[in-house]
Homo-oligomer: A and B are copies of this chain.
Amino acid sequence: MAKSEKINFSTPSGFPEFLPGEKRLEVYLLDTIRKVYESYGFTPIETPAVERLEVLQAKGNQGDNIIYSINPILPPNRQAEKDKAGETGSEARALKFDQTVPLAAYIARNLNNLTFPFARYQMDIVFRGERAKDGRFRQFRQCDIDVVGRRELSLFYDAQMPAIIAEIFEAINIGDFLIRINNRKVLTGFFKSVGVEAEKIKSCIGIIDTLEKVGEAKVKQELEKEGVLVEQAQKIIDFINIKGTADEILDKLKYLAQSASEAEIFNLGVTELETVISGVRNLGVGENRFCIDLSIARGLDYYTGTVYETSLVGHEALGSICSGGRYEELVGVFLGEKMPGVGISIGLTRLISRLLKAGILNPLTPTPTQAIVVNLQEDLMPVYLNVSQKLRKAGINVVTNFEQRPLGKQFQQAEKQGIQFCVIIGSEEAAAQKAALKDLKTREQIEVSLENLAEEIRSRLV
Contact = CB atoms under 8 A, between A and B. Distances in A.
Contacts of A120: 20
B49 A85 contact: no
A24 B9 contact: no
A42 B40 CA distance: 32
Interface string A10-41: 11110111111001101100000000001111
B336 A283 contact: no
Contacts of A94: 73
Interface in A27-63: 27, 38-55, 58-59, 62-63
Given A49-B139, A50-B139, A367-B41, A55 B9 contact: yes
Contacts of A71: 68-71
Contacts of A259: none
A258 interface: no
A11 B72 contact: no
A200 interface: no
Contacts of A54: 7-8
Interface residues of A, number: 122
A49 B125 contact: yes
B369 A41 contact: yes
B1 A48 contact: no
Interface in A43-102: 43-55, 58-59, 62-78, 85-87, 90-91, 93-95
A300 interface: no
A217 interface: no
A93 B127 CA distance: 13
A1 B304 CA distance: 15
A129 B72 contact: yes
B43 A63 contact: no
B48 A16 contact: yes
Contact of A48 (B17, B42, B78, B283): B17
A13 B401 CA distance: 46
A333 B1 contact: yes
A279 interface: yes
Interface stretch (A230-238, A265-273, A379-387, A437-445): A379-387
Contacts of A333: 1, 4
A53 B44 CA distance: 33
A361 B108 CA distance: 26
A70 B69 contact: yes
Nearest to A85: B66
A332 B7 contact: no
Contact of A139 (B40, B48, B127, B138): B48
17 contacts: A2-B336, A4-B59, A4-B333, A7-B334, A10-B109, A11-B105, A13-B90, A24-B43, A43-B366, A53-B73, A62-B76, A63-B75, A68-B72, A87-B131, A117-B403, A156-B402, A282-B382
Query: Top 7 A-B pairs ranked by shortest CB distance?
Result: A3-B336, A154-B402, A15-B48, A41-B399, A41-B369, A68-B70, A72-B129
